């Protein structure tokens, strides 16, 4: 930062946990405020657009379009950045701990913002993973879907439906089983069964969908 060291000492420290769009927008709103020092703690050194992942997991060749490999292009000017997964938060001491290069680092704060979104295996990258490992994971999932004859998707929410639909469109001959706790998804399955690429016989489309409650 270009601020004078004496001024920095009297500034309130705002720490934002998260490296995605929400954390970025928080920093953009706060960084210009007087007497605030803004720090973002991002678990990963790349940015991935989670809304695109249900499609990218089925078509890994599109993955590069859903990631920003150079985090510098995503940074907010005037914001300090730390990289590594947050392992603990001490609310009483107003300090969080994150792991950077295998070492625990303490970071004090006056205000803490948690903008991490939510965790979902495969759809979100693992905390602290490298870009190379994430790309390899997406390729592995895509290959597994391509070679499978039956794919089970656990979860009947928007992400599960999007993933199941992406598989269904890309591979109309595969059987897709959608497992959900809700009865609502059963009605949606009949609609999804009718979604396919042009020229796919209606009978084949309908047989390729199954729904189950769990």
Residues 55/123, Cβ–Cβ less than 8 Å: no
Rounded to whole angstroms, the Cα distance separating 171 from 59 reads 11
Rounded to whole angstroms, the Cα distance separating 201 from 205 reads 6
**pLDDT at 122 (0 to 100):** 92
Rounded to whole angstroms, the Cα distance separating 107 from 24 reads 19
Residues 53/122, Cβ–Cβ less than 8 Å: yes
Q: What is the mean pLDDT of residues 112-139?
A: 93
Between residues 68 and 214, which one has the greater pLDDT?
68
The dihedral formed by the CA atoms of 84, 24, 78 and 103, expressed in degrees to the nearest 10: 0
Rounded to whole angstroms, the Cα distance separating 131 from 28 reads 25
pLDDT, tens digit, 9 for 90 and up, residues 22-65: 999 999 999 988 899 999 999 999 999 999 999 999 999 999 99
**pLDDT at 210 (0 to 100):** 57
Rounded to whole angstroms, the Cα distance separating 145 from 171 reads 9
Q: What is the mean pLDDT of residues 105-111?
A: 97
**Alpha helical stretches, state H, the chain:** 5-10, 21-30, 53-56, 131-147, 158-170, 184-192, 202-207
Q: Is residue 192's pLDDT more than 80? A: no
Rounded to whole angstroms, the Cα distance separating 49 from 58 reads 15
pTM of the model as a whole: 0.78
| SS3 assignment, position 143 | helix
Q: How much of the chain, in percent, has pLDDT values that exceed 90?
A: 67
Residue 197, Cβ density class (10 Å: 0-12 exposed, 13-18 middle, ≥19 buried):
exposed
Q: What is the mean pLDDT of residues 199-213?
A: 49
What band does 194 get if pLDDT is binned at 50, 70 and 90? Answer: low
**pLDDT at 163 (0 to 100):** 95
**pLDDT at 30 (0 to 100):** 95
Q: Is residue 131's pLDDT more than 90? A: yes
Rounded to whole angstroms, the Cα distance separating 60 from 136 reads 10
Question: What is the helix (H) or strand (E) element at residue 111, kind and residue range?
Answer: strand 111-114
**pLDDT at 202 (0 to 100):** 46
Between residues 187 and 141, which one has the greater pLDDT?
141
Of 182, 134, 140, which Cα lies nearest the Cα of 161? 182
What band does 110 get if pLDDT is binned at 50, 70 and 90? Answer: very high
């Amino acid at each position: 930062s270009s601020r004078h060291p004496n001024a920095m000492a009297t500034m309130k420290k705002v720490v934002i946990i998260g490296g995605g769009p929400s954390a970025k927008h928080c920093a953009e709103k706060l960084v210009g405020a007087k007497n605030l020092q803004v720090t973002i703690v991002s678990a990963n050194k790349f940015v991935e657009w989670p809304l695109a992942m249900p499609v990218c997991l089925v078509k890994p060749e599109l993955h590069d379009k859903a990631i920003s490999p150079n985090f510098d292009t995503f940074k907010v000017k005037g914001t300090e950045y730390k990289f590594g997964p947050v392992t603990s938060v001490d609310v009483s001491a107003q300090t969080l701990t994150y792991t950077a290069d295998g070492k625990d680092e303490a970071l004090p704060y006056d205000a803490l913002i948690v903008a991490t979104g939510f965790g979902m295996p495969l759809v979100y990258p693992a905390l602290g993973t490298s870009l190379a490992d994430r790309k390899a994971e997406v390729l592995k999932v895509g290959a597994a879907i391509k070679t499978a004859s039956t794919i089970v998707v656990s979860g009947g929410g928007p992400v599960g439906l999007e993933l199941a639909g992406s598989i269904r469109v890309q591979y109309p001959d595969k059987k897709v089983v959608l497992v959900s706790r809700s009865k609502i998804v059963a009605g949606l399955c009949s609609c999804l069964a009718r979604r396919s690429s042009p020229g796919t016989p209606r009978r084949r489309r309908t047989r390729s969908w199954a729904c189950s409650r769990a």
